[in-house]
Amino acid sequence: MAKKNVKVLPAARQILDMNAFDAGAHTGALNPLLERRIANVGASAVLFYREPIEVVSASGSWMTAADGKRYLDFYNNVPSVGHTHPRVVAAVTDQIGRLNINTRYLNSVVDLYLDALKARFPASLSNVVLSCSGSEANDLALRIAAATSGGTGIIVSENAYHGNTSIISDISPSALKRRGLPDHVVTVAAPSNAGQSDSIENAFAADIKRAIAELGRRGHKLSAFICDSIFSSDGVYADPPGFLRKAIETVHKAGGLYIADEVQPGFARTGDAFWGFARHDVMPDVVTMGKPMGNGFPMAGLVTRPELLERFCEDTGYFSTFGGNPVAAAAGMAVLNVIDEEQLQENALRQGNHIKERLRDVAAKDDRIAEVRGAGLFLGIELCRSGKRDQPDAEVASSVINGLKDRGVLIGAAGKFGNTLKVRPPLSLSEEEADIFVDRLADTLSALPAA
Amino acid sequence: MAKKNVKVLPAARQILDMNAFDAGAHTGALNPLLERRIANVGASAVLFYREPIEVVSASGSWMTAADGKRYLDFYNNVPSVGHTHPRVVAAVTDQIGRLNINTRYLNSVVDLYLDALKARFPASLSNVVLSCSGSEANDLALRIAAATSGGTGIIVSENAYHGNTSIISDISPSALKRRGLPDHVVTVAAPSNAGQSDSIENAFAADIKRAIAELGRRGHKLSAFICDSIFSSDGVYADPPGFLRKAIETVHKAGGLYIADEVQPGFARTGDAFWGFARHDVMPDVVTMGKPMGNGFPMAGLVTRPELLERFCEDTGYFSTFGGNPVAAAAGMAVLNVIDEEQLQENALRQGNHIKERLRDVAAKDDRIAEVRGAGLFLGIELCRSGKRDQPDAEVASSVINGLKDRGVLIGAAGKFGNTLKVRPPLSLSEEEADIFVDRLADTLSALPAA
C-alpha cells in the first residue's frame, strides 16, 4: 500500500446523510483497511459511521461484519427483495454464464423483461430506455423534457437528490457544497403541513406556481418538475396520498413535464402502490427507475411516451453499452417475480404499518420523536428537542444512528436539518425483525440523556 | 404485445456505426421479436444489420444465434477476455451470492481490486473513482477538469464518441444528429499523415494549438483535451507511437488537462501497452475506463491525482450507488488476472500483427483496401473506390459488413465517412480464428463487384 498517499481529508464528504465518516475529526489510528480505502479513493470517500464497518457477507435483512457482528439493515434500499436473494443470484448466475451482450442484437430475455416492466405502467408510457444508474436515467429524462417543452427551467424540492452526473448534480441541492444552484433551478419546500393553514395539496401547488413565476422572472420557461414522490432526502413526506395532483396540473398548464423519479419509492416499497406516483393518482410524462431494480445488479431506466423519446432522438443519438444487457434483464425479471410471488408489496404495507403503530407508542413516551410518517417500508422518524416539535435535532439523530449501530441496526438520516431517520429495510422484512428495530430504537433513545 | 405501439421509425438511428437496422428502409414483415423490440424501446432502438440477429449464447470469440448459426465476434470490445469467460463468471457468481453493497461500508474485495488497478498506472494517478459506465466516468472527468483548470473549452477529435450523458453527448460529434456542437467545443482532425508534409506529431500539435486559439476567440479558456488514444470512432489511428506528445505539451502549456479516454483502447487491447496513452509516452491528468473493465459486468471508473479530485469534491458531493460494489470489483479483478495469466496483451500483439500481415497480402491483390492500420487487436481497415485511396467508400464497407455477416463474422465500421472496418475481437483470439476472419473477408471482397 502506498502509505505516502494517505491523506486526512479536511472535512466530511457527505451526500444524503449526516452520518459520514470524517477522517479530519477522527482521533487515533485508522484501521488498515480504512486507511487503504482513503488512499485508494481520496476525497471521493463517502463512508458511514465514526468507525466505518467492514462487511463480509449479507443475507435477507442482515449483514455480517468482519468481526462477526450481525447488523439488521434498515438503511440500504437497493437489496430491496433481501440481500443475496437466491432467485436473483440464480438468475444472474445462469444468464452471465450464457450470454451478456448489448442491445444492438436481439435477445428474448431482454424483451421478456421489457414487456413485464411495461405491464407495471400506464399503457401510454410504452417506451423503455434501460441504462446503468438512476443518475443516467434522470440525465436522459431531463434532456427529453428540454426537447419536448422547449424550456430550460427545472423545479426540484429544496433538499432533493437526483443523482451524480453534471446536469443532475445541478438539480440536486443536497449534493452541492460550496457552490449554489444554477440560475435555471428553483426549489420548493417539501409538501408538509408545517405552518400551513391551507391543504397540503393546495399549498404545494401554490409553491409550484411561485416557482414557475420565479423561473419566468429569470428568463426560463418551465421544462420540468422532477420529484421523488416520497421526498426521501427532504425527510420523507408521503401523506395524504393525492397531494401532488394540483401541482402536476399546474406544471402541465405551464407546458412543463412531470418527471417521476422512482429510484427510491419505486418497486413496491411504499406498500400501497407499486410506484410512488400512483399513490398520488397523477400521470408522469417520464418515470425514472434505479436502485432496487436489479436488487444490486447495476441497472436503471426510464419509461416515457414514444413521441417524447422520438423527439429527443431526432437530435441526439443515445446508446448505452451496458444498459439492457440480458444479465440485467434476468436480474430485473427475478426482482419483479419475487415481489409478486413473495407478496412483498403487501408485506411492505403490513410491516410498515406495524412499525408505525409501534413507533407511535414509543413516541407517546418520548417527546423527542416529533413525527412518524411515510408509507410502507419507507418511513421517516423526525427527531426534535424534547417536546419542541419545531426545533429539529440533528445531534440526537446522529446519536441514535450510532447507538443503533452499537445495537446492531443500521439506519441513516435525511432532511434539510438531518434530523429525520430514514427507515428503509428490505421489503421481505419479518415482523420479528420489525420488532427488533423498534425495541432497539426505544432502547437507544432511553439510553440517551434527555436533550 | 401492444401491436398498436409498433412504429416504423423515420430514419436509421445510429451511433458509431454505418450499419444500423433501419425500420424505415425495411421491406416486408418484421420478425416478431424485432417488432416487439421496436415497440418496447421506440426511437432509442440501435440495432445492427438489415436483418438484426437474435443471439442466444456466446463463448470465447463466438456467438450463437437463435437459428443455430455461429458468428465469430470481431465487433464487441466489451467481452474482451472472451464471452462468458469461466473465471469472470465464477467471480461474479461467487461474490453476488455472498455480498453486494455500496462503498459506504468497507469491504476488502473492493480494495484488493483498487490496489490491483492502481498498480497498472503511474504512481501519481493514485485516486480511483468507480462508477457504472464510461459515460459517467467521462462526465466526472470533464467536471474535474473544469474545477482544476477554471476553463470551459473542450477539444475533441472530429468524429469522437465519449458517451451518452448530457455534457458528454455535447462533446461527442458522432452522437449528434440535427444539432451541432456547442460553442465551447472545438474539434481537431484525427492524427494521420493524409495530406501532411510535416510529421503527424507536429501537425497534430499545430491543430491543437489552432483549436486552443479558436476557443480563445470564442471566449473559452481551455479546460481539457479528451481523446481515445486509438481514435476509434475516427477510424483507428495508432501510429507512430508518440504522436500525442507535443499535443499534450501544448494542452498543458495552455493550462488544460489531458483526459485519456481508455474506454476503448484500455486493458491490453493495443498489444504493446496496457493503456493506449502509454503507447504515446504521455502523462494524463485523468484516465477514464469502461467497456472491457468487467468483461460485460457494468462497471467503469477513472483515476486521477488526489489534489484534482479533492478540488472537485470541495464543491460537489459525488457518490455512485452501484460504483465500486464488490461484485464489480470481483469481476474487474478476474479480468486483470485473466489478462495476466493468459498473457492476453502478448496475444493481442501477436494476433494483431498476424492479421495485419495477412491483410496486407489481401490488400496487395485488392485495391479497395486503402490502408490497414492500428495496434494489437484494435485495427482499422480503410476501404476506398478501386485504386483511389482518397475516395472513401462507405458502400463497399456496408457490403463487406453484411457479406461477412452472411459468412458468420460480425464487424462494424467507423470514421467520418463510415468506410473503415473496426477489427476488435476478444483478446483471447486464436490464430485459427484470426485466419477465419481474414479468409472470409477475402472471400467477401472477391464476391463483391469491383467498385
Chain A: residue nearest B109 by CA? A56
Going from the C-alpha of A401 to that of each of A74, A356, A381, A440, A443, the distances in angstroms are 11, 18, 12, 11, 12
Percent share of chain A, pLDDT over 90: 89
Which region, left, alpha or beta, applies to residue A334 given φ > 0 means left and ψ of -120 to 50 means alpha? alpha
Residue A18 has pLDDT above 80, yes or no: no
pLDDT greater than 70 at residue B4: no
DSSP secondary structure letter of residue A132? S
Give the C-alpha distances (Å, rounded to integers) separating A15 from A265, B8, B161, B312: 18, 44, 31, 14
Give the chain B residue nearest A40 (alpha carbons).
Answer: B127
CA dihedral A313, A314, A316, A317 (to 10 degrees): 60
Asked if the C-beta of B58 comes within 8 angstroms of chain A's C-beta atoms, the answer is yes
Q: Does A313 touch chain B (CB under 8 A)?
A: yes
**Is B265 in contact with B275 (CB distance < 8 Å)?**
yes
Q: Contact A42/B108, CB-based, under 8 Å?
A: no
Q: Which residue has the cell 480503410?
A: B382
Those of residues 388-427 in B touching chain A at CB distance below 8 A are none
- C-alpha to C-alpha distance for A74 and A435, rounded to whole angstroms: 12
- Which residues, 6 or more positions from A443, have their beta carbon under 8 angstroms from its beta carbon? A407
Cβ within 8 Å, pair A106-B37:
yes
Nearest CA in chain B to A60: B99
Least CB–CB distance from B108: residue in A33, A169, A310: A33
Q: Which residue has the cell 443519438?
A: A317
Residue A252 CB burial class (10 angstroms; 0-12, 13-18, ≥19):
middle
> Across the interface, do A175 and B316 touch by the CB < 8 Å criterion?
yes
CB A364 within 8 A of CB A446: no
Average pLDDT over residues B325-354: 98
Omega of the bond prior to B240 within 30 degrees of 0, cis? yes
Residues of A in contact with B1 (CB under 8 A): 115
**Span between the terminal Cα atoms of chain B, in Å:** 44
Using an 8 Å CB-CB cutoff, list chain B residues near A104.
17, 46-48, 52
The nearest alpha carbon in chain B to A92 belongs to B93
Q: pLDDT per residue over A331-344, tens digit each?
A: 999 999 999 999 99
Q: Choosing among B9, B316, B320, which should be mutated to test the A contact, i.e. which has the most A CBs within 10 A?
A: B316
Higher-confidence residue of A118 and B28: namely A118
ipTM over 0.90: yes
Would an 8 Å CB–CB cutoff place A131 in contact with chain B? yes
Q: What is the DSSP string of A284-317?
A: -SEEEE-GGGGBTBS-EEEEE-HHHHHHHHHHB-
Q: Is the pLDDT of residue B1 over 90?
A: no
Nearest to A223 by CA among A288, A285, A145: A145
Q: How much is the average pLDDT of A378-394?
A: 95
- Give the torsion sign (CA, B23, B54, A101, B405): negative
Chain B residues whose CB is inside 8 A of the A178 CB are 314-315
Q: Looking at per-residue confidence, does A178 or A407 come out higher? A: A407
Using the predicted structure, report yes or no on whether residue B429 has a pLDDT greater than 70: yes
Would you call A101 and B5 a contact, using CB atoms and an 8 Å cutoff?
no
Nearest Cα of chain A lies from the Cα of B327 at a distance, in angstroms, of 9
Does pLDDT of A403 surpass 80? yes
Task: Please give the pLDDT value at position A50.
Answer: 81
Q: Is the pLDDT of residue B435 over 60?
A: yes
**How many C-beta neighbours within 10 Å does residue B240 have?**
12
Interface touch B63/A5, C-beta < 8 Å: no
Does any CB of chain A come closer than 8 Å to the CB of residue B179?
yes
8 Å CB contact between A366 and A396? no
The pLDDT score that the predictor gives to residue B179 is 86
pLDDT band of residue A178 (cuts 50, 70, 90) is: confident
pLDDT, average across residues B378-383: 98
CB contact under 8 A, B106 and A176: no
B365 interfaces chain A, CB cutoff of 8 Å: no
By the CB < 8 Å criterion, does B127 face chain A?
A: yes
| B300-307 mean pLDDT | 98
Q: How confident is the model at residue B197 (pLDDT cuts 50, 70, 90)?
A: confident
Across the interface, whether the CB atoms of A321 and B139 are under 8 A apart is answered no
Residue range A48-77+344-447, CATH number: 3.90.1150.10
H or E segment at A418? none
Question: What are the start and end residues of each CATH 3.90.1150.10 domain in chain B?
Answer: 53-81+344-447
Task: Render pLDDT for B228-263 as a digit per residue (tens, 0 to 9).
Answer: 999 999 999 999 999 999 999 999 999 999 999 999
CATH homologous superfamily for B53-81+344-447?
Answer: Aspartate Aminotransferase, domain 1 (3.90.1150.10)
Task: Please tell me the predicted confidence (pLDDT) of residue A5.
Answer: 36
Judge whether residue B8 has pLDDT over 60.
Answer: no
Q: For A54, which residue in chain B has the nearest alpha carbon?
A: B106
Q: Is the pLDDT reported for residue A58 higher than 90?
A: yes
In Å, how far is B9's CA from the nearest CA of chain A?
Answer: 9
Nearest to A100 among B79, B105, B118 (CB): B79
Q: Measured between alpha carbons, how far is B164 from B161 in angstroms, rounded to an integer?
A: 9
**pLDDT of B392-403, one tens digit each?**
999 999 999 999
Cis amide leading into B284 (omega within 30) = no
The pLDDT score that the predictor gives to residue A23 is 72
Query: In this predicted structure, what is the pLDDT of residue B17?
Result: 53
Nearest CA-CA distance, residue A277 and chain B, Å? 22
Q: How confident is the model at residue B220 (pLDDT cuts 50, 70, 90)?
A: very high
Residues 93-122 of A with CB under 8 A from B: 93, 96-108, 110-111, 114-115, 118
Q: Which of A31, A35, A44 to mutate to test the interface with B (most CBs of B within 10 A)?
A: A44
Picking from B14, B34, B105 by the largest number of A CB atoms within 10 A of its own CB, the best residue to mutate is B105
Residues of A in contact with B13 (CB under 8 A): 313, 317
Are B129 and A93 within 8 A, CB to CB?
no
In chain A, where does the domain assigned CATH 3.90.1150.10 lie?
48-77+344-447
Grid cell digits, residue B171? 462533446
Q: How many CB pairs under 8 A join A and B?
A: 373
Q: What is the pLDDT of residue A91?
A: 98
Say what the pLDDT of residue A249 is: 98
A213: closest CA of chain B, how far (Å): 26
Is residue A13 predicted with pLDDT exceeding 80? Answer: no
AA identity, residue B29? A
Sign of the four-CA dihedral B320, B323, B324, B326: positive
Q: Does B70 touch chain A (CB under 8 A)?
A: no
Write out the DSSP string of B178-244. SS---TTEEEE--S--TT-SS-HHHHHHHHHHHHHHHHHHTT--EEEEEE-TT-TTTT----STTTT
Q: Does A202 touch chain B (CB under 8 A)?
A: no
pLDDT computed for residue A6 by the predictor: 35
Checking if the pLDDT of B287 tops 60, the result is: yes
Asked whether the CA dihedral A325, A327, A331, A334 is positive or negative, the reply is positive
Q: What is the mean pLDDT of residues A55-71?
A: 98
| pLDDT over threshold 80, residue A269 | yes
Predicted confidence at residue A11, as pLDDT, reads: 33
Question: What's the pTM value of the predicted model, to 2 decimals?
Answer: 0.96
Quick one: CATH architecture of A86-341? 3-Layer(aba) Sandwich (3.40)
- Residue in A87, A105, A162, A314 to test binding to B, most B beta-carbons within 10 Å: A105
Instruction: Inspect the interface and report whether the beta carbons of B166 and A167 lie closer than 8 Å.
Output: yes
Taking CA–CA distances from A118, the nearest residue in chain B reads B40
Which segments of chain B belong to CATH 3.40.640.10? Answer: 86-341
Model pLDDT, residue B25: 72
